[in-house]
Amino acid sequence: MISTILRATIPVFLAVVPAAARPAETPEALSHRLCDAVQTLPETRKAQCCRTSASPALAAECARELGRALRDHAVALGAAEVDRCAADSRRQVTGCDWVTPYLPAIPASCRDVVRGRLDAGAHCRSSLECRDGLFCRGGGPSAAGVCASPGGPGAACGGALDTLATYTRQTDVDARHPECDGFCLKGRCIGSVALGGECSSDRQCAPGAHCTSRRCVDGPRPKLGEACDGTSCDGALVCVDGRCAQPKKAGEPCTRSAQCEAACVAATADAPGRCGMQCSAWPPAGYTPPVPGPSPVGSTARAQDVDRRPHD
């Protein structure tokens, strides 16, 4: 019943008209459509599934920042690409089985759609405005930077928030616009870890390598069916019982949320849970309600525990 209601209430602003059948869109219209697809839609659909009010979305700020960059000819964005992103976003949030306390990862078609047009030395506010391989050194929400090559070992890094990349959810910004010729650690650029060296994430390893069992090894992340002990799997695959697999669907048994399309509900140390919708991050898996009655720390402490619960 909920799925039927949701299909009947898809927001009008996400209706897609083939790009070839409509006139060229203004920067404002194009930016609003992309930001609605990556921000408003998942927030609205989650609220419908959870029967709550939609959380304040970042769509307005997203459209403002993206529209400015388009008007300044600092970025390029195609109507056909926005069409594909919007369509895939709608498919991704069909029904309610995908719902978690957090927004879902954006579809692949929504990544790498905001392309920079500025060359090295040009003024910028976001790394997305620079051509691939360059990043915006010194840029930020209220200050203009300069498109530059990645910094070498010892260069300052990590000082500014890239609001345009955050609002548009361009999660590949670090790969396309690296700040360091290596990786950033505690505000300074560090050279990539050599093959066999100790690591804690893929970003520390050189291009073409990945981190597994805390060591950089040659080759990409493991694919479907390949061993994944101590490493992440390729794309949207997850590690289940030591092998890369598709995320589990609603109703399938699980021991942790990373195995599921949504969340692992009611899992404990003694028994597995089931994959399914979870609107709130509270209670966490394995949580046992306190026994009613006096406690050594008194009722005030128990009330504070409740106050620390994350909200929907």
pLDDT band at 301 (very low <50, low <70, confident <90, very high): very low
What is the tens place of the pLDDT at every residue in 247-277? 999 999 988 888 898 888 876 767 788 999 9
pTM over 0.85, yes/no: no
Phi-psi category of 33—alpha, beta or left, where left has phi over 0 and alpha has psi -120 to 50? Answer: alpha
Cβ atoms of 100 and 282 closer than 8 Å: no
pLDDT of 91 over the 60 cut? yes
The listed range with the strongest mean pLDDT (23-27, 82-86, 172-176, 198-202) is 82-86
Mean pLDDT of the chain: 82
Q: How far apart (Å, rounded) are the C-alpha atoms in residues 84 and 111?
A: 11
What is the mean predicted confidence (pLDDT) over 54-64?
Answer: 85
Which two three-digit tokens encode residue 301?
A: 């402490």
Residues in Cβ contact with 98 at an 8 Å cutoff, skipping those fewer than 6 apart = 92, 104, 261, 262, 277
Domain ranges in the chain are 2-110, 115-191, 247-288
Res 240: pLDDT: 86
What is the tens place of the pLDDT at every residue in 123-180? 999 999 999 999 999 887 777 899 999 999 999 998 778 999 999 999 889 889 999 9
What is the mean predicted confidence (pLDDT) over 32-56?
Answer: 91
Q: Is 7 exposed, middle or buried (0-12, 13-18, 19+ CB in 10 A)?
A: exposed
What is the tens place of the pLDDT at every residue in 188-242? 999 999 999 999 888 899 888 998 888 999 998 999 999 887 678 888 888 888 8
pLDDT of 20 over the 60 cut? no
pLDDT band at 290 (very low <50, low <70, confident <90, very high): low
Res 7: pLDDT: 44
Percent helix / strand / coil, the chain, rounded to 5: 30, 20, 50
